Structure 1
Amino acid sequence: MKKNKYQLSAQKVEQLENELKDLQTKGREKIADSLDWLRSLPNDQDDVTFSDVFEDQRYLEKRILELKEILSSYDIVHDNPNSSQVEIGSVVRVGFGQYEEEYTIVSALEADPINKKISDESPVGRALIGKRVGDTVVVSTGIVEKEYRVLEIK
């Protein structure tokens, strides 16, 4: 079976589907309304305003294409992954030095480091994928090296 390009949670799929629907309806309507309004102005209107609206339209259509591409090639990551090794969807408690942190491993599209959701493509996420409780990984950022020990996988 072919593996899809994106690994997403069901919540992220729903969020992307809603964004796509919104852009295709409300977003396009807003652009059309802006163009109608501009066309109603006298002909000596500055072309910069039209240019801005067309730029907004290009951005909107580009985002719609991106969302369609993502939604045409994804696999759902289940909330209850295999707890014997780290994978996308795992909640991992790691120790480094005298400190401990808990991270959720997510796809790059769902990464939110402030909320401890790290991408499987980030240095720490990539190092943790496939590891088991008790394993140690060393992550180098180019400036410092940090050693993480896997304490728990949920």
Structure 2
Amino acid sequence: MNMLKLTQEGTRKLENELQYLKKRKKEFRNSPEKDFIMSRMEEIERVLSSSITWPVVREAADFVEAGSTITIEETVYKERYTYTIVHPYEADPRDNMISVHSPIAKAAIGKTVNTLICVQVPAGENLTYNIIDIQNC
């Protein structure tokens, strides 16, 4: 079985949510959401038991993989973006943490620095980016 890779922050959030749900389990006993809450607890326990936590220290890497922090530059307007590619459980675009299933991550995984990637966005157009930097834990 492949181990899921979670950031330290992602692991901490899941552990805190699980502890919160466990503490309030008795309150949920007669709640209509009981089944949902129990399945959420099982899901979190399953994720945590089959995951490893990335260390905080990051260093230059040869290619993009889950856990990489990448800096890309849009080829037309030269705008730069930095994203960390994470497991879907901790994806949060507001914090520049994108899912491995996102279009940018799918295009970048396995690529190296100075590689052009083409990303088709939902509106149908294609955006081209150059991978400027890759940092892995």
SS of 1:84's equivalent in the other structure is: coil
CA deviation map 1:111-146 (0-9, x unaligned): 111221111111101111121110011111351111
What corresponds to 1:39 in structure 2? none
Partner residue, 1:146? 127
Give me the TM-score of the superposition, normalised by structure 2: 0.84
Runs of 4+ in 1 over 3 A off after TM superposition: none
Counterpart of 1:147, as a letter, is T
Query: What secondary structure does 2:33 align onto?
Result: helix
Residue 78 of structure 1 contacts residue 89 of structure 1 at CA under 8 Å; is this kept in 2? no
* Per-residue deviation, 1:149: 0.5
Q: Is the 8 A contact 1:77 1:88 kept in 2?
A: no
Q: TM-score, normalised by structure 1?
A: 0.75
CA RMSD of aligned residues (A): 1.8
The 5-angstrom pairing of residues 5-154 of structure 1 reads 6-25=4-23, 27-32=24-29, 35=30, 53=31, 55-79=32-56, 80=58, 83-96=61-74, 97-98=76-77, 99-141=79-121, 143-154=124-135
CA distance in 2, matches of 1:101, 1:59: 37
Cα distance in 2 between the residues matched to 1:81 and 1:8: 17
Q: Report which structure shows greater RCO (CA 8 Å, sep ≥6).
A: 2
- Which structure is higher in helix share? 1
Distance 1:81 1:60, change over 3 A: farther
Number of corresponding residues: 131
Answer with 1 or 2: which has the greater Rg.
Answer: 1
Percent identity for Structure 1 against Structure 2: 27
Structure 2, gaps ≥5 residues long:
none
